Chain A
């Protein structure tokens, strides 16, 4: 197996004083699904955003498929096109139709013709189960549908890896499942995924590895069973006590 994503000795400090990430190293192999969990403000999003350099590390290295993104010579736009990212707030482009959302980067970045881009778009929309929404505007869709469009938009770039930052946290309970189902299917299809999520059910059934983060550092990592049932560290146990009793 070869490594798809690696962050090495990652540090990220905001405004010179807020240490969001402190010396984090994580390796994600090709085809692996890694779930990052941890309390609010522990640095999960920052770690994820450093993986495609939306946040620029204060120090440390970030490799995608062997290429170091921190290296100034690296063409970031090219790498980012290979790294799908799904946000908590969907971040669909509200002035474009669903199909235009999906074809924009294919045309501008991949240089595809409109027909090719639309064909790929339909394929991905079908995959996430809403081909009939191609000509709708994002605000005409439910939250769950919007998030599925966001996933389709990323998939249409044929990424090597997908990053998810709490993709279901902004959704009404009845819509969480439809998004998780899409993610489960992706995982089963062999996609390399890094997911920040509070959905422990998803983590149990899809994750190869769970990483528990607290105060900017990795506290412990292991298989879902190891982390959920046999956590070694007190902070990990505390975390589960809290979320299970709420």
Chain B
């Protein structure tokens, strides 16, 4: 057995981080570990270890892209052809998110409801939608279900624009995904909360709306934000239906001009801007929702 430095030297120099009041047995066990040259210490990280390099890389790429679009006439032309689709993309995203939110809340509560009809209906809806890939679903909803519904309701077929078919499809799809989020959020609230509410005489509905759902919201906001961004990205799928959103415009322009790099470079840039912008907004909202409204300590 090799002995480390003498006890006195260690205590004086403090090179092992030992305090003078440690027992002899503790110290000898440290010695046996062969300290001090391999001592494990907590250290403050250097600035370059903590610096958000990834963010700088993205910012740099974005800057280069922006410069390219601004100064290169070919890129500028592509930009001017694609950019007008932003409005439609955002509109579809926001409306679909709103409807999906309500559908998801209803189906989420329905899934854990004691009511046999509500329970099975919600369950069937969620499982059906989640079991089908998104593109076939889009075709089925927009080209089969919506026309059938239109027929059934005796509405003029042309009065329901493709935009609204897209909204219906996106809302139905994301309603099912959000139902799972709501269900998980509600189930994450301790059962004792519901019991406390009910034992005070609050009805089931009052307990849900004043006790359970406000608490579930905290767990729900981050994944809902993810779905918000996912909807924004998935609106691009609807270019297959001929809706003149961003991706459709890009496809049209590239097909007629053969300027593929200019077109898709610009399209990517626009989506990146939208997604990053939305992420920042959602991050702020999350911060606002999860911080204490007031608080003393």
Residues of A within 8 A of B (CB): 52, 54, 77-85, 87, 89, 91-95, 97, 104-105, 108-109, 135-137, 140, 150, 153-154, 157
Contact = CB atoms under 8 A, between A and B. Distances in A.
Interface in B104-158: none
A62 to B, nearest CB: 14
Interface residues of B, number: 23
A136 B214 CA distance: 18
Contact of A91 (B196, B202, B294): B196
Nearest to B292: A137
B15 interface: no
B212 to A, nearest CB: 10
B200 A153 contact: yes
A87 to B, nearest CB: 6
A80 B297 contact: no
A94 B215 contact: yes
Interface in B196-213: 196-203, 206, 210-211
Nearest to B192: A91
A95 B292 CA distance: 9
The 10 A-B residue pairs whose C-beta atoms are closest, nearest first, are: A81-B201, A91-B196, A105-B200, A85-B199, A109-B201, A91-B192, A80-B201, A77-B201, A95-B214, A77-B203
A87 B192 contact: yes
Interface string B87-110: 000000000000000000000000
Given A80-B200, A92-B196, 10 more contacts: A54-B195, A77-B198, A77-B201, A89-B192, A93-B193, A93-B196, A109-B206, A140-B296, A153-B200, A157-B200
Nearest to B191: A91
A105 B203 CA distance: 10
Contacts of A77: 198, 201-203
Contacts of A136: 296
B295 interface: yes
A191 to B, nearest CB: 16
A109 to B, nearest CB: 4
B210 A135 contact: no
Interface in B11-67: none
Contact of A137 (B192, B200, B206, B295): B295
Contacts, number: 71
B152 to A, nearest CB: 39
Nearest to A150: B196
A105 B296 contact: no
A153 to B, nearest CB: 7
Given A93-B211, A136-B296, A140-B295, A54 B198 contact: yes
Contacts of A135: 294, 296
A109 B202 contact: yes
Given A87-B192, A87-B196, A95 B294 contact: no
B215 A154 contact: no
Contacts of A108: 202, 206, 210
Given A87-B192, A135-B294, A95 B215 contact: yes
Contacts of A97: 294
Contacts of A140: 295-297
B170 to A, nearest CB: 31
B295 A83 contact: no
B219 to A, nearest CB: 12
Contacts of A85: 195-196, 199
A92 B294 CA distance: 17
B166 to A, nearest CB: 37
A104 B200 contact: yes
A39 to B, nearest CB: 23
A157 B292 CA distance: 27
Given A87-B192, A89-B192, A108-B210, A154 B200 contact: yes
Given A91-B193, A95-B215, A54 B296 contact: no
A92 B154 CA distance: 53
Contacts of A153: 200
A82 B197 CA distance: 13
Contacts of A52: 199
A108 B211 CA distance: 12
B220 to A, nearest CB: 13
Contacts of B215: 93-95
Nearest to A54: B195
Contacts of A150: 196
